[in-house]
Structure 1
Amino acid sequence: MLTSPTVGFVRTWQEESKRWTYTLTTLLGDWLNQAERQFGTRDRSWTILGIEVGGPRPGVWFPQYSQESRCVVIHLSDTCQSNEEQARFELSQEIVHLLTPNGGGAALNIEEGIATLFANLVGPRHVNAPSYVKVLGYVEELLKIDPEAIIKLRANSDRFQDFTPEFIQKRVTGVSDQLASDLCTPYRD
């Protein structure tokens, strides 16, 4: 059990604005709301338990309390215990994964690309890891073809992991075979 607080979870009163500061928890709510407006509503059959810190890398995980359990947690790396900017950065990258939790399977490139796009919009700095920049490029190419492509696709099948090249091409006119295949390939670091 931690004996010192993790940065990002302590709110402070801002006298000039007469408001409390956002914490990682309130940012989760705000950013999830933004992601739903931009990419479609989340699957509410999943319970979002919150955020925890510890371990070598960020991600989402799915604690199993019972056979019927559908819970998801955002997990931030050890670095976030003492670095609030890093915590915000990692949180911004994980938000999109709460829209359609996959229960632990590999995310497709389209989901990681959308997560990177969103993180670049709301996070404290841009994602620059080559593997994420690559999948962001696929999503940007899709959005050049149709700026509403993600909303259209999720309206027909809200789970990213169910997308296939044929599914994408049937709903978004002008997507090449190569782009459709790239979007539906499981993401690899």
Structure 2
Amino acid sequence: MIRTLLALDGALVLGALSFVLAAEDDIRVVAEVDRGDAVSAAVHAQRPDVVVADLDVVEGLDPSRLGRCPVLVLAHPQRARRLRGLLCPTRTVGILRSDAGPQRVIDGIRRLARREPVLDADLVVAALRSNGPLTSRETEVLTLTAAGAPVAEVAASLGLSRGTVRNHLGRITRKVGARTRVEAVRMAGEAGWI
């Protein structure tokens, strides 16, 4: 029996995956948490064989707090760069897209329990890729723009003038080879730069 802890953001996703896993004869969900600060305590109390977690829930969590338990991280492709801190040769970490099908997640749990690799190649490449052509300030500007913030809001958030934000957006658009800001956001997201 593979004792599994689910650490997922959102009750609906958490409940749905728990329901799917309950139908498997060899997997038992021993705990469900939806916050990063609850993961460590649940790992120590339940001693799972595998943790399945959203990147948003486990990002920033000290890996030593999980003991030797392998972790299957579910990440959105646009957030792949944030996986870099989790990639560690001394730790068993599986990486799948957050939109992976249930059977792929089930297979990932089984493989991690056997200490076999579970990797989405595109996510790993995006995680290991450099920051690309964007400066850190340009990345901040584009990330806020991608979240839907207008120029005035981006300027206020970063302590910049509106003209400076527009200049950054123009440079970003040229650097990534886009025609519009929307296209620049899409291309940078696909490349894992934001």
Same fold, judged at TM 0.5 (above): no
TM bracket (short chain)? 0.3 to 0.5
Bigger share in helix: 2
Provide TM-score, normalisation by structure 1: 0.32
TM-score between the two structures when normalised by the length of structure 2: 0.32
